[in-house]
Every structure is written in structure tokens, then in C-alpha cells.
Chain A
Amino acid sequence: MTQLPPVHVEGVAFWTAQLPDWQTARAVIRGESLPPQARIARPTPALLAPTERRRAPDTVAVALEVGMRACEAAGQDPAMLAAVFASTHGDLAISDYLCATLAATPALISPTRFHNSVHNAAAGYWSIGTKAHAPYTALSASVHTFGNGLLEAATQALSAGQPVLYVAFDAEARGALASMAPSRGLLGVAVVLGVETPAKPSRRLTLTVAPCDTPRPTSARSPAASLVAHNALAPCLPFFEALADPSPRALVLTLGEQLELQVGLQ
């Protein structure tokens, strides 16, 4: 077992169709209100120019939205933050488009959709929109993506002694690929992790990496669970349920087939 020194959760953001901000999501998670009936198709992040807002892939739109909201909540200038972007599958709609077009008319591939197909497209648009020259990374770890991204963000914050933005997202699968990489709806989440005790109240996050025979991840159990259950990033929800609860909480996320992330929130 290896425990990292604690970091602070300075800002939180959440977006899915019926829970389009952290205040709404937190209230639904706590059972204080019912999910709004209205389903928003996708966010319209202010970071993108109006023409780009319509053209940007869903993954980019949701990543920029939650990234910006988490920085606002943390009172951090996004241009100054290193960032970790995690997504299980990247943009499945673009992957479906590429595979279908290659099978039919390969010479007609759209250059824009091709450069938007890279796993770091959302990260790239984020750095362009925020004018952030700080490094970003973009990673994937199958069903263990959220936990690995969280650990990488905390590791970066501790190694640099600077706050780090962590953004995770997954989108709706399309076409035949949906049978192999199932994911429904659009879900984006973000936190800013800092190393110094912030002026305003924040949660202290302690991460412990523990080998095990079989990870026993904490199950989501709030009323929000059914709203994200079929998204590939659904394993992130227990972490946000713990953040929504002001009392100290412990939970487990998976990191691998024989590795778990024990998460303490105080």
C-alpha cells in the first residue's frame, strides 16, 4: 500500500443531460431535490466562439464546460493550470464516423473530424481556449479510467507543488461500435486539486494505492446513479456522491484488475 500526501479539492464541476451543473447534481445526490425533467442536449461552453460551439464535438463541449466551471469554483486562472484529461473511449461518434467512412469512401474523410479524432482533442481545445501553455495529458485505462486519472492529477499536483485540473468525460456510442464500447449519454466531471490549504473551505483528499485480489469498488447508491449508469464514466459517481456529502467519507475506486484506489475525503 502506498499513500500519497493529502491534496485539497478546490473546485468541483459536473455535467450530464439532467444534472447540468454541480449544484443541481449535489442536490439530487443528497436527495434534496428531484432531477429536472428537462434534458439539455449538450453544454455550450463560453470558451468556444459561437460558431465553434455548434461545430465542436460533444466530448470537447462537455470537457470545456466542466473544466471552466471547476476552475471558477476553485478561483483558479485556467491558463495557469496543468491539466489531466481522462476518457475511457474518447469521442465514439467520431470513431464511428471514421470507421464507416473508411469502409465506404476513404478518400472523403473530413480533415476536421480527423484532427478532432485524437484522444487529446478536448485537451487541445481546452489549452487553445484558455491560452494555457501549461502541459496537459490525455489518458485512458478502460473501466479503470476515472481512478487512474484522479491519481495522475494528484501525483502531478504533489510533484509540481501546483494545483492541477482534472477533467474526465465519456460520450454516447454510435453505430456498430456501440456493441463493443457501450456508453450512453454525455457525462463530464472535473475537480481542481491543490496542495496548499486554500483560504475557503475545501475537502481534504487522501489517495492510497492498494494491491488486492479483486477490487471491491464502492457502488453508486444516490438518486443520480440511474441518470449516468450507462455512461462509460459511471464509475466516477461514488466519488462525487462522497463530495456531495459534507461529512468525512471513504470509498474505493478501481485502478486495475488487482489494484484499488482507496479514497478518503475529509
Chain B
Amino acid sequence: MHFQPLVVSAYTLCTAAGDGRAATLHALRERRGGLRRNDFSHSPLETWIGRIAGLEHQPLPAHLAAWECRNNRLAWRGLLTDGFLAAVAAARKRYGAHRIAVVLGTSTSSIGASEEAYRRLEPDGSYPPDLRRPIVHTPHSLGDFVQHALQLHGLCVTVATACSSSAKVFAQAERLLRAGLADAAVVGGVDTLCGSVLFGFNSLELVSPEPCRPFDAERRGINLGEAAGFALLEREPARGPRFIGYGESSDAHHMSAPHPEGLGARMALEQALARSGMQPQDVDYLNLHGTASLRNDEVEARLVAEIFPAGVFASSTKGWTGHTLGAAGIVEAAITLLALEHGILPGTLNTRRLDAACGPQIRCENSAGEVRRAMSFSFGFGGSNCVLAFAREAQA
């Protein structure tokens, strides 16, 4: 049985650029990004970050206190945005709690809680009592929390393939629905700022000391960000934009650098085009991975220039949000859906002079127009690539 298009019946996102679809749309239109100087942790590195304001003062409700940690706080904030919780509750009534799968992506899940425990170990070397909760010290913290928060009892897994995580969840969910293992799926992802990623990416010399400039000839690296995003996938006759295809591949090249010719990325892209029945000229908008790292942007720009006609509008939105790692897939899928629904074509924020590798497809300035079909690219450490394809809601 082949791929079956699904309907995105609800979706939401929380990033440094804003909470929810309306705030994100406004930030995109006004070109108001959410990056700020790094003020995270006790010894902040010289870089900029996409930090979500106020999480420190938003504890989880008492019935979910067992999952308390920054990552699950952000997940909860995401679930409360754009009526997502209510949309899932309605789906639960329609299908039953056992028939809705939860497939979520993250890179570091709640390792920030483990980091905190190590900073506050008891004199005997044991965990501080408030952090003696095993569920927040394992990668499935995210999936387990969201499933409980949504009162669902179907399949539930946490996918962790670095920066492609919350794109790949769309593919996995589609296969589950096609196999009859679920009638709907909550997909998405959450990643929060923590010492591991800030100091880890710094050790790889990948973080920029200034606001990130994707595809800029003088780009200096990435800005880390945190985000939550969710989508509810159902079959027709549900209403909403459609998920029409995906492609997945491996670079088989290097743990932390992309394939120099973008071989894996190209395979994922070609697969996504084939699965969605599109030719490159059918795509109106491309939301690129565009992290502002030297290698990624060069490889990705060449691939876009080679495959797509000049009229395709392509951009990276990481100048608004930072690179949200395991949440990047869902954040950029959500921005792609906003483009489809509202005809906004976001440019590439902060970028002043495009790299010579860029073709005419990659734009700095915003535009507007009819967006019928669009794609989102996500590429991760370990050479894991995923490309998603979406289309505007079918007109009745």
C-alpha cells in the first residue's frame, strides 16, 4: 500500500519569535525576529539565542508535576496554544484514546534536568530530592509527558535523530495510520536550551557570536533556539492543509558534517517530490534547513540552485527562531503551513549579502503570493535527512 495523504487538522508552534500561529505570522510579516544575546546559564557563551520568555515562572499543573522540567514546561505551553489541547480532546472523542498515536521528536529531551541535578548533587553524590524522578532523565520524557497530558493511550514513541527528529515524525505517523495502527496522530517536537547543546555546539565551533545570517556570504555559524510545535494528522474528511509526501535518507558520510555534494539531501528531496507527485516547478515555497553554518548552507544552496527553477521562492527562517534542533522540523513545517494558508513568503532575516553558492531561488526579502504547494527541509547530525511536502487545503 502506498503513501496516503493526510490532513493537518490542527497545528501550533511556540518559538522565540512568538507563541502561536497569529504571533508567528505577525513576526514573519513585520520581520521581527526573536533572537537575543545569550543570557542562558550561569556562564553564558558569547552568542545569540532564541530563548522562550517566562518558562522559569510557568510550572506544570499539579497533576503533571511528576514530569516537571524546562522541556516539558515548553511542551505544555505548546499544547495550550492555538487550541491544540481542545483539538486533540475532540479527536479523542471521535476516535478513542487508544486510536491516537503520539510520535514526537527531540534532540536532547529533558537532559537539562539531569544537568541541573549534577550541579546540585547532595553531599553524598546523590540526586537532589526534587529531581529524583526517573522519567525526566530519559529521552522518552517528552513523549511520555505529552501522552499523559493529552490523556491518550495509543502508540507513543520519542524519535531522536538530532535535527531531523520532528520532521521524521510525520513520516512515521503516516505509516502508522496507513497500517491501521492509529486513526490520528499527534506529531511534533520540543527542544529546550541546555548546557549540553550550547557548550557542545560551541566545542564544534559552530555557534555564531552575532545574530545568525543564513546563506550570507559572511555567515559565522548558528544560533541555538528552543521551541515546541505540534500537529494533528487525520485522514479526510478532516479539514485543513494536507501532508502530501516525505523523503528520508542518510548521508553515510560524517557524524557532524553534511555530505559535500548533498547526496543524502538530494535523495530525500527526490523521494519527497516523487511521493507527492510533484515536479520541482510545482513547488511554490521551500523552507530550507539554512542553519547559517558554513557547510550546511553551502551544500544546501547548491542543491536548491541545481534542482529548482528560478521562480521558486526559498528561504531559511532561522533568523527568527534560531536553530531549534529536534524541534526544527515541526517549527518549519508549521511556518510552511502558514505560508500555504496565508500566502506569506518569508525571506531570510539578518542576511545582507547572499553566498555565491545561492541561486535566484533563495530570497532575503519577504514576499506574498499564492502558495499552493510547499516543502520543508531538515538535515541532522549523523547524516539524517528528511524532506516534507504540504499542499493547501483542497477547495470544496
Interface of A with B (CB < 8 Å)? 2, 4, 88-90, 95, 98-100, 102-103, 106-107, 109-111, 114-121, 123-125, 127-128, 130-142, 145, 148, 151-152, 155-156, 158-159, 176-177, 179-181, 209, 211, 255-259
Of all chain B residues, the one with the shortest Cβ separation from A102 is: B195
Contact between chains at B157 and A140 (CB < 8 Å): yes
* Given A120-B384, A142-B138, residue A127 in contact with residue B155 (CB < 8 A): no
The reply on B366 being an interface residue by CB < 8 A is no
In the bound assembly, the distance between CA atoms of A259 and B152 in angstroms comes to 11
Contact between chains at A137 and B159 (CB < 8 Å): yes
Of all chain A residues, the one with the shortest Cβ separation from B139 is: A140
B125, B159, B252, B264: the one within 8 Å of A130 (CB): B252
Contact between chains at B115 and A133 (CB < 8 Å): no
Contact between chains at B196 and A176 (CB < 8 Å): no
23 interchain pairs (CB within 8 A)?
A2-B181, A102-B115, A102-B195, A103-B119, A107-B43, A107-B202, A120-B382, A121-B382, A127-B382, A128-B255, A128-B383, A135-B385, A137-B159, A138-B161, A139-B157, A139-B160, A142-B135, A145-B140, A151-B181, A176-B117, A180-B132, A180-B133, A180-B138
B32 CB contacts on chain A under 8 angstroms: none
Contact between chains at B382 and A180 (CB < 8 Å): no
| Smallest CB separation, A103 vs chain B (Å) | 4
Greatest chain A CB density within 10 A among B107, B115, B125 is at B115
A103 CB contacts on chain B under 8 angstroms: 115, 118-119, 121
Contact between chains at B153 and A98 (CB < 8 Å): no
What number of residue pairs across chains A and B have CB atoms under 8 A from each other?
216
Q: Which of these binds chain A: B51-59, B170-178, B215-223? A: B170-178
| Smallest CB separation, A253 vs chain B (Å) | 13
In the bound assembly, the distance between CA atoms of A74 and B386 in angstroms comes to 28
B158 CB contacts on chain A under 8 angstroms: 139-141
A110 CB contacts on chain B under 8 angstroms: 203
Contact between chains at A140 and B251 (CB < 8 Å): no
A156 CB contacts on chain B under 8 angstroms: 175
* Given A95-B111, A99-B115, A135-B248, residue A116 in contact with residue B144 (CB < 8 A): no
In the bound assembly, the distance between CA atoms of A119 and B140 in angstroms comes to 11
Contact between chains at A102 and B196 (CB < 8 Å): yes
**Using a Cβ–Cβ cut-off of 8 Å, how many residues does chain B contribute to the interface with A?**
73
Of all chain B residues, the one with the shortest Cβ separation from A142 is: B140
B138, B161, B176, B195: the one within 8 Å of A123 (CB): B161
The reply on B283 being an interface residue by CB < 8 A is no
B200 CB contacts on chain A under 8 angstroms: 98, 109, 111, 114-115, 117
In the bound assembly, the distance between CA atoms of A11 and B276 in angstroms comes to 34
A140 CB contacts on chain B under 8 angstroms: 138-140, 143, 157-158, 160
- Given known contacts A102-B196, A118-B380, A121-B382, what 12 new A-B pairs fall within 8 Å (CB)? A100-B118, A103-B121, A106-B43, A111-B205, A118-B162, A124-B382, A128-B253, A139-B160, A155-B175, A179-B126, A180-B133, A258-B98
B121, B203, B384: the one within 8 Å of A111 (CB): B203
A109 CB contacts on chain B under 8 angstroms: 196, 199-200, 202-203
The reply on B237 being an interface residue by CB < 8 A is no
A102 CB contacts on chain B under 8 angstroms: 115, 118-119, 195-196, 199
* Given A120-B380, A124-B383, A142-B144, residue A148 in contact with residue B176 (CB < 8 A): no
A116 CB contacts on chain B under 8 angstroms: 255
* Given A98-B200, A115-B381, A159-B1, residue A259 in contact with residue B98 (CB < 8 A): yes
Contact between chains at B381 and A118 (CB < 8 Å): yes
| Smallest CB separation, A118 vs chain B (Å) | 5
Contact between chains at B384 and A124 (CB < 8 Å): yes
* Given A120-B380, A152-B157, residue A133 in contact with residue B267 (CB < 8 A): yes
B118, B249, B382: the one within 8 Å of A134 (CB): B249
Q: Mark B180-207, 1 if CB is under 8 A from A, else 0.
A: 1100000000000001100111111100
Of all chain B residues, the one with the shortest Cβ separation from A258 is: B153
Contact between chains at B199 and A106 (CB < 8 Å): yes
Contact between chains at B115 and A128 (CB < 8 Å): no
Of all chain B residues, the one with the shortest Cβ separation from A104 is: B118
- Among residues 127 to 159 in chain B, which have CB atoms less than 8 Å away from a CB atom of chain A? 127, 132-135, 137-140, 143-144, 147, 153-159
The reply on B250 being an interface residue by CB < 8 A is yes
In the bound assembly, the distance between CA atoms of A258 and B386 in angstroms comes to 31
In the bound assembly, the distance between CA atoms of A174 and B147 in angstroms comes to 29
